[in-house]
Structure 1
Amino acid sequence: MNDPFALNLQQHHDALGEFMTLLESEQSLFTDAPVAVDALSRLTERKAGQAKALEQLDGQRRALLAERGYDTDRDGARRLAATLDCEALWQALLTRIEAVRAQNQINGLAIETRLDHTNRTLAFLQRATGQTLYGPNGRTRAFGSNHSLRSGV
């Protein structure tokens, strides 16, 4: 695998594997109650760095295709991979891309579910207290002793 295009495919495949590991870690953090916000923040930074690396690899792949006169789309990549006898690697890359896309979608649904739950909880607390929890300055409001969640006021 001395060809730069084949090497790029392998690097892209490996980088997607690392990204998938991050997505799986992210998913496990979403199942914790409460969510470990600091760990999630660090993981998000790592994901952003890995996403940037994936974008660079994709740009390199497209440049290699263009240099050789191939279309820079999937069909061009498939044709060059066939010429270089690395079709299996190209297919493995496409399979991994699909798996990462699916995991990312699952994580997105988990985020939406958590956000919906948080919004419902806030709405309940606002109704229960008859006021908003935060003032215009973003700080929590002090409630008098006559407010009780038990009594609904």
Structure 2
Amino acid sequence: MSLDRLLEEQQSRLGALTRLLENEQEQLLGGTINGAHLEEIAQEKSRLLLSLEETESRRARVQSRLGYATGGDGARQAADDAGCLEQWQATLEMAAHTARLNDRNGRLVSLRMSHNQQMLNYIHHIAEKSVYAPDGRTTSGQRRLSTSA
């Protein structure tokens, strides 16, 4: 498979992953979280990441087979020699953009989790101040019983 075809595949998959991350971001920023939909997004992200890794591995093998050095410098030289340097640079830019989106979504998830933990802590704090004991009696009644004994 030619280098330009592999780069087209990578760009296509990066585009799909970017759209998926944007969808995830909309979900995370919305007022109500749809857990099932986020789970579907997570599964699709995993599938796309695996396919991107597969395409990148094939690209690196082709690069090596053609005698280019491994790594970014060899990839750049291979793309330049194949006449697809602009496509290579566009792929790198897409990958960087996708990574930034993924990082931002990770921070949003972390923020949501932190907020949820704060809410749970507050609920537990309020529950501890309840006037009812676990058996349904008022806590003030229990205190009177224990002081009269």
TM range (shorter): 0.7 to 0.9
Alignment of 1:6-25 (within 5 A): 6-25=4-23
Q: State how many pairs are aligned.
A: 135
Equivalent position of 2:125 in the other structure: 127
TM-score by length of 2: 0.84
Which portions of structure 1, spanning 4 or more consecutive aligned residues, are displaced by more than 2 angstroms? 142-147
Identity level (%): 24
Please give the secondary structure, in 2, of the residue aligned with 1:34: coil
Partner of residue 66, structure 1: 64
Distance 2:20 2:85 in 1: 27
Residues 46-104 of structure 1 show CA distances to partners (whole Å, capped at 9, x for unaligned) of 11100110110111111111111112211111000100111100010011011001111
Residues 26, 107 of structure 1: 8 Å contact kept: yes
Distance 1:46 1:125 in 2: 35
| Greater relative CO, 1 or 2 (CA 8 Å, sep 6+) | 2
Instruction: Evaluate the alpha carbon distance shift between residue 84 and residue 34 of structure 1 in structure 2; reply closer, same or farther with a 3 A threshold.
Output: same
Is the aligned partner of 1:108 residue 2:80? no
For residue 138 of structure 1, what is the aligned residue in structure 2?
Answer: none
The AA in structure 2 aligned to 1:29 is Q
Listed as ranges, the matches of 1:2-151 within 5 Å are 4-130=2-128, 144=136, 146=138
Structure 1: stretches of 5+ with no match in the other structure: 132-141, 148-153
CA distance in 1, matches of 2:43, 2:92: 25
Which ranges in structure 2 are unaligned for 5 or more consecutive residues?
140-149
Change (3 A) 1:46 1:143: farther
What is the root-mean-square deviation in Å for CA atoms of aligned residues? 1.8
In proportion to residue count, which structure has more helix?
A: 2
In the superposition, the TM-score normalised over structure 1's length comes to 0.82
User: 18-27 vs 6-15, which deviates more?
Assistant: 6-15
1:47–1:145 Cα change, 3 Å: farther
Distance 1:71 1:100 in 2: 26
Q: Are the structure 2 counterparts of residues 89 and 143 from structure 1 closer, same or farther at C-alpha, using a change threshold of 3 Å?
A: farther
